[in-house]
Amino acid sequence: MQLLLAPMEGLLDFVLRDALTRVGGIDRCVSEFIRVTNTLLPNRAFIRVMPELLNGSRTPSGVPVRGQLLGSDPVCLAENAARLASLGPEGVDLNFGCPAKVVNRHGGGAALLDEPELVVKIVSAVRRAVPDTQVVSAKMRLGFNDDRRAVECAIAIAEAGASELVVHARTKADGYRPPAYWARIADIRAAVRIPVIANGEIWNVEDARRCQALSGASALMLGRGMVTDPGLALAIRANAPTPLAWTQLLPLIQDFWNLVCKTQEPRQRAGRLKQWLNFLRRTYPEAEAAYMAIRTENDQAKITTWLQTLHQLAR
């Protein structure tokens, strides 16, 4: 079984990738999308989103990271894919699933699922631009307003040259509302000859097993479920629904905060910690208390002292 860590704009960046891959159980990550418009991006633009490029395309714990591109112009995407490929990523991924309005208004992300012909042009152009030794993959939703063209889009992606496809089993219109329609992934798997990875609404071991049963996919991509329960990948592998103890998680939160303070803008730092604690509240009662303790605090020094004290008390 292969377990991947999802790309989530504004949440699962290189800092949280570092923290979550340290826990174990994840085979590969995909970066947040790198937006491509009408220009060839400089190397620093790719490295800013995916600093793992400076570490052999690996997180500090050694998990491979694939770079994801988002855009709608085949020529520009191909040029930028070639540049990204020159930096040595684990592979190049294409985003056909982002539901953000600002992205969709410009014809990117999930909006492309209404234009399978353009999807073919994009994947074909990128595949030609990227060396044969590197993987080109894609991530899609089931559609924009409905899923009528889901299989058509998946076939377009596969026949244009992608060697792997992740399917988030909801449409753009569905957003992140449950349920995820895992059975529709089985329809896609039956129509293409490339590996299909299931994604969407996998919060626990039971969800993972049901997703595998309904989709027929052995490989899964974990997103918010992994953020709320960093031990989820290990639990799925062990088929044992037991989260990490809070005392095991605290050192990870401390390391996360230290890296946030080193790499993020000062005005963003407190918010990043609160964001993760807010997700962790779903699994950990202790995270609820921690979140409430710093909910209104933005002073970095005070948060650092508070976190150190919390860590010491839990030992």
Helix orientation angle between 266-280 and 285-294, rounded to the nearest 10 degrees: 150
* Active-site choice (98, 153, 211, 261): 98
76 is a catalytic site residue: no
- Assess contact for 58 and 89: CB atoms under 8 A: no
Q: What are the beta bridge partners of residue 66?
A: 30
Q: What is the pLDDT of residues 19-47, one digit of tens each?
A: 999 999 999 999 999 999 989 999 999 99
pLDDT-flagged residues of the chain (< 70): 102, 104-106
- What the chain holds in terms of domains, given with CATH numbers, is 3-238 (3.20.20.70), 246-314 (1.20.225.30)
Q: What is the pLDDT of residues 121-177, one digit of tens each?
A: 999 999 999 999 999 999 999 999 999 999 999 999 999 999 999 999 999 999 999
CA dist., res. 156 & res. 76, Å (int): 20
What integer pLDDT is reported at residue 12 of this predicted model? 95
- Assess contact for 243 and 280: CB atoms under 8 A: no
3-class state of residue 306 by DSSP? helix
CA dist., res. 91 & res. 79, Å (int): 15
Q: Residue 81 CB: number of other CB atoms within 10 A?
A: 28
pTM: 0.95
Q: What are phi and psi of 293, to 5 degrees?
A: -65, -30
Q: Which of 77, 158, 46, 90 is nearest to 167 (CA)?
A: 158
